[in-house]
Structure 1
């Protein structure tokens, strides 16, 4: 039995246990994993193409339990309302921001209700519940921790209200994105697509298709195509994000030729990467990963990327491994095409700098879907 087959068995066993538990208590538990942008980002926000995979190492878990009133439970660690001192409060907001997961759960409930109303899906008003969440996805690590909470919460709501067959798979990423847009969070579809579909997915955000159907073309791929010796490297003390803002979108909207051309080139890396994966061409894959980061650095500049984020990439590259951000920064993907000896050097180099280096374990595919949303 392969590792992927074992993971599939684990998913089935977990689903069976969840069904038994729900029959007894009505409790629903759903997970959404972290994600790694393999190639193509940031072109996903610019009608480009990407490849992402679901990272089994980390996940957000949402639990829905039927209750007399509707309750959203704050997480004791991620939604604190009590601090030892004012200094501790300031320290918390400086590293974690002002919001935890409660607002995500509130917005998920609101947008789910709106979606059902907009699509004439009847849901009862008296089927109340309590929502709580937990997550082990590292904060500010560019691994899509917020969208994981949203996707897991929506999965609970779909099941609770028995509407899984009424909400097409292909529409669910857009629904998840609308939750964060409700909160004024700027984001793209890539993260929500991979957290809905799982496994490994090639995505084409073609402008005409996006305009016509409100989503892209999503092609699930065999996760077994990914080569071994892939790692996620991150810091337990990430840089504070948002200090320096990029003007990339303004330049893109203005049609600046160099920006448009560079983003088209980044999108092409995903297209070339899909071919490399299918052909087992690890050398080309490594080259594309490196070029993807180099173009991101050119587009955004070092001030936006941040010194610590750049340092992580440089540490990975110091042993000859390929590297790029997993998302917008905070963690990086490392690929060692030379195998075990290079992997050992990578772990040693990361440990020396105080960076975590974990093998990238790919979560199995959750669905097989086509453009029209059929399963």
Structure 2
């Protein structure tokens, strides 16, 4: 429906996670062409929060407040992948490896190791998106939000979520420091919005007006919930 009728390029994660819920490990092997059911493999969705006794995740989410159409991003990356662009293909092979390795970090509740994988993921995605023509990689506002918090000693990593309606970043933090990090992130954001000199000291290469677009940013804690209820 999304591909052929609505002409929106979206990832499978947007569909399966909502339907199944929980913390899921997803495999979409063989589904790149979005064929009809029975003409390609079914997706594999494991509820690993149940398997690995993960009752919560030490994560804070910041929605930038800046909306955009993510299908535009996906369409460009997907087209390059299907056209055999070697840089894009190699990048996604590396991302696939990071993905299966991350499952072991989750299995051990090893948040530091998981954070290291998230940092690798962010670096790869920034490179891939610049390669296909996006000047600021995963996004100007997303990179600002990441850099504001990633050097906090209580933060293991900050990463793009890939939200459909606009940019959202999550920070993986020490479990007992969630509230402190959330407050620090808010304060740092307010500081660059209200203090031009401080903003320029951190982001000399970015336009000043970017600060104003972040005034509506919102912060959230998370919880793991079931998927869509059966009717």
- TM-score between the two structures when normalised by the length of structure 2: 0.69
Q: 1:356 matched to which residue of 2?
A: 218
Displacement after TM superposition at 1:338 (Å): 6.6
Q: Deviations over 1:35-89 (max 9, x none)?
A: xxxxxxxxxxxxxxxxxxxxxxxxxxxxxxxxxxxxxxxxxxxxxxxxxxxxxxx
Cα separation, 1, equivalents of 2:107 and 2:143: 30
Q: Does 1:313 align with 2:146?
A: yes
How far apart are 1:256 and its partner, in Å?
2.8
List runs of 5+ in structure 2 lacking aligned partners: 194-214
Q: Is the 8 A contact 2:59 2:222 kept in 1?
A: yes
Shift of 1:270: 1.8
Work out which of the residue numbers 223, 248, 258 in structure 1 matches 2:77.
248
CA distance in 2, matches of 1:269, 1:277: 12
1:286, distance to aligned residue in structure 2 (A): 1.0
CA distance in 2, matches of 1:255, 1:331: 29
How far the C-alpha of 1:294 sits from its partner, in A, is 1.3
Q: How much does 1:228 deviate?
A: 4.0
Q: Distance in 2 between matches of 1:180 and 1:296?
A: 23
- Structure 1 position 250, deviation (Å): 3.4
Deviation for aligned residue 1:225: 1.8
User: Closer, same or farther in 2 for the Cα pair 1:227/1:285, shift >3 Å?
Assistant: farther
Alignment RMSD (CA, Å): 3.1
Structure ranking higher on relative contact order (CA contacts 8 Å, 6+ apart) = 2
2:174 to 314, 322, 337: 337
**2:6 matched residue in structure 1:** 183
TM-score scaled by structure 1?
A: 0.44
Kindly state the Cα deviation for residue 180 of structure 1 after the two structures are TM-superposed.
Answer: 6.2
Q: What residue number does 1:219 align with?
A: 46
Query: Residue 195 of structure 1: SS of its match in structure 2?
Result: helix
2:111–2:172: 8 Å Cα contact kept in structure 1?
no
Secondary structure in 1 aligned to 2:11?
coil
1:314-346 Cα shifts (integer Å, max 9, x gaps): 222142421111115511111113741444423
Matches within 5 A, 1:4-83: none
Provide the residue aligned with 1:259 in structure 2.
Answer: 88
Conserved 8 A contact 1:197-1:365: yes
> Does residue 231 in structure 1 map to residue 60 in structure 2?
yes
Displacement of 1:208: 7.4
The aligned counterpart of 2:185 is 346
Question: Is the 2:158–2:170 contact (alpha carbons within 8 Å) kept by the matching residues of 1?
Answer: yes
Is 1:270 paired with 2:99? Answer: yes
3-state DSSP of counterpart to 2:188? helix
- Equivalent-residue separation in structure 1 for 2:19 and 2:44 (angstroms): 14
SS in 1 for 2:26: strand
Residues 284, 179 of structure 1: alpha-carbon distance in 2 compared, 3 angstrom cutoff: same
Distance 1:227 1:291, change over 3 A: farther
Distance in 2 (CA, whole Å) between partners of 1:231 and 1:330 is 14
Gaps of 5+ in 1: 1-177, 368-375
